[in-house]
Amino acid sequence: MAISRRVVAFLVFTILTLTFVSPIAAQGDEAKAKVFIQIAEKAREVALQLIERAKAAGEDVSAATLMFDQGSTFLNRARQAYQEKQYDAALANARLSQEEFRDAMKSLRSEPLSLELNKTRLLEAIGRARERIKKVNDAMSNSTEIDTGLKEQISGKLKQSEVLLNEAEATLGTETKNASEAAHKLAQAEKLISEAFVLLRQASHKPNKQRAEAFLKGLEREISRLEEDLDRLEKRGVKVNDLRERLASATNLVRSAQEKASGDNVSGALADIQQAREITQQVRKEIAKNHKP
């Protein structure tokens, strides 16, 4: 029994809704990467079910299977990058996997797919890839924080991807219209675009890392001053054990943030810094109360 267009449309809409809403609510690179991977995994499950049902109904699922396999490859890369704490790479590959699974689901219709329809969808995907190239190029051009060597590296990957996209488009323009070869070149181009995007994001993290290090130095000075204030209060007979414990927690958070910043986990470092700052502010307020006549 063929799958109805209404069912396919509903499932595609659901995946698209999750793609554009859920990740926005997540905070931090690690959390965003995790959410995007989870969405991609769900999209993979739905796409696989639709492909199996369509295959059982005797439909041609070759195009959907090709896109499904490409999506699975990107998803595996995203999982691996996440395990290695390379959250930018995980996020970029998870995005690409979602697009492949979405296209796989959209390709499943109640009627057999024609060669022209396959060609149209591949051309649309090539167009989207070119839009991503433009976005990376624009972001790189507007940034003053990327050194010349890194710019050349990013530009090189984007130029290679452009060549692959041109070759894929040319392949679709031949009489044989080898969709499989075009899709392979498209996947190679998307991988290079993903790598360029990751390099760009990593470069943009440098000022954040410097800002985190500046925050940490300020926090260390603040904690030292608060410890001196507590010493003075204790000499006056004020019980300060609870406040000392809070400052110890802030100190531990500072150390944790230092480790994360040195390991390029800037978002994690900033989260620890925020918690430490909240603690020092609370301690400062308590000290101020005891200084009142």
Here the CATH number for the domain that contains residue 215 is 1.20.1270
Task: Say yes or no: 213 and 109 in one domain.
Answer: no
State which of 55, 84, 113 marks the end of a domain: 113
> Which pLDDT score is estimated for 162?
93
> Which pLDDT score is estimated for 208?
65
> Which pLDDT score is estimated for 118?
67
Indicate whether 169 belongs to any domain: no
- The owner of tokens 């954040």 is 208
- The owner of tokens 């449309």 is 9
Indicate whether 87 belongs to any domain: yes
Indicate whether 248 belongs to any domain: yes
CA 30, CA 105: separation in Å to the nearest integer? 28
State which of 113, 144, 169 marks the end of a domain: 113
Indicate whether 58 belongs to any domain: yes
Closest by CA to 157, choosing from 92, 83, 63, 71, is 92
Indicate whether 92 belongs to any domain: yes
Query: Tokens standing for 237?
Result: 């007979």
> Which pLDDT score is estimated for 21?
42
**Cβ pair 110, 4 in contact under 8 A:** yes
> Which pLDDT score is estimated for 112?
43
Residues of the chain with pLDDT under 50: 1-6, 9-10, 13, 16-27, 110-114, 293
State which of 113, 141, 160 marks the end of a domain: 113
- The owner of tokens 């190029």 is 137
Q: What residue numbers bound the domain in which 100 lies?
A: 1-113
> Which pLDDT score is estimated for 103?
81
> Which pLDDT score is estimated for 129?
86
Give the containing element (helix H, strand E) for 291. helix 266-291
Query: Tokens standing for 248?
Result: 């110890």
The pTM of the whole model exceeds 0.75 = no
Using CA atoms of 157, 160, 161, 167 in order, give the dihedral in degrees to the nearest 10: 180
> Which pLDDT score is estimated for 292?
54
> Which pLDDT score is estimated for 27?
44
Residue 204, phi then psi, degrees to nearest 5: -70, -15
**Cβ pair 254, 276 in contact under 8 A:** yes
Closest by CA to 39, choosing from 1, 89, 95, is 95
> Which pLDDT score is estimated for 225?
92
Closest by CA to 49, choosing from 21, 15, 92, is 15
Indicate whether 81 belongs to any domain: yes
> Which pLDDT score is estimated for 206?
58
Instruction: Give the DSSP letter of residue 111.
Output: S
CA 24, CA 159: separation in Å to the nearest integer? 30
CA 90, CA 31: separation in Å to the nearest integer? 11
Indicate whether 94 belongs to any domain: yes
Task: Say yes or no: 1 and 109 in one domain.
Answer: yes
Indicate whether 187 belongs to any domain: no
Number of independent structural domains in the chain: 2
